């Protein structure tokens, strides 16, 4: 099972990318505190008409971990990132709760 739930702060302005199929991706970095210290997690989110959170926004992110491979400078590189299904402001508690419940629905067959 590959499920990610993050709560953190958008740590820099989103970088927008247009894919060949017309999809618009927002590339975010979400900083979250853990017992081991601060982690900055790269997040790729297909925005399709949704508003993108600004730097400094508190968000809840749900999605999956993906390792992406690409070529640059003649070498193969990789990047591990979260592919987001939802990026919701923490202040929208009901929407954030619903996003987490939707992400967990597959774990227990819809029970949360």
The b/e string for 66-90 (b: 16+ C-beta within 10 A; e otherwise) is eeeeeeeeeeeeeeebbbbbbbbee
Statement: residue 94 has pLDDT above 90:
yes
In terms of pLDDT, which residue wins out, 49 or 18?
18
Q: 10-31, pLDDT tens digit by residue?
A: 999 999 999 899 999 999 999 9
The CATH architecture to which 4-104 belongs is Beta Barrel (2.40)
Q: 34 and 12 in contact (C-beta within 8 Å)?
A: no
Rounded to the nearest 5 percent, the helix, strand and coil shares of the chain are: 10, 55, 35
pLDDT of 109 reads 65
For 101, the 3-state DSSP assignment is: helix
Nearest Cα neighbor of 79 from 87, 68, 70 is 68
**SS3 category, 73:** coil
Band of pLDDT at residue 38, cut at 50, 70 and 90: very high
The reported pLDDT for the residue numbered 40 is 96
Give the bridge partners for 17, in sequence order: 25
């Amino acid at each position: 099972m590959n499920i990610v739930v993050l709560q953190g702060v958008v740590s820099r302005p989103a970088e927008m990318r247009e894919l060949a199929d017309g999809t618009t991706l927002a590339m975010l970095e979400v900083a979250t505190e853990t017992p081991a210290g601060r982690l900055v997690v790269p997040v790729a989110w297909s925005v399709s008409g949704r508003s993108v959170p600004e730097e400094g926004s508190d968000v809840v992110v749900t999605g999956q971990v993906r390792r992406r491979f690409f070529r640059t400078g003649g070498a193969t590189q990789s990047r591990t990132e979260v592919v987001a299904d939802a990026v919701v402001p923490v202040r929208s508690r009901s929407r954030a709760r619903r996003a987490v419940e939707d992400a967990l629905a597959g774990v227990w067959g819809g029970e949360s």
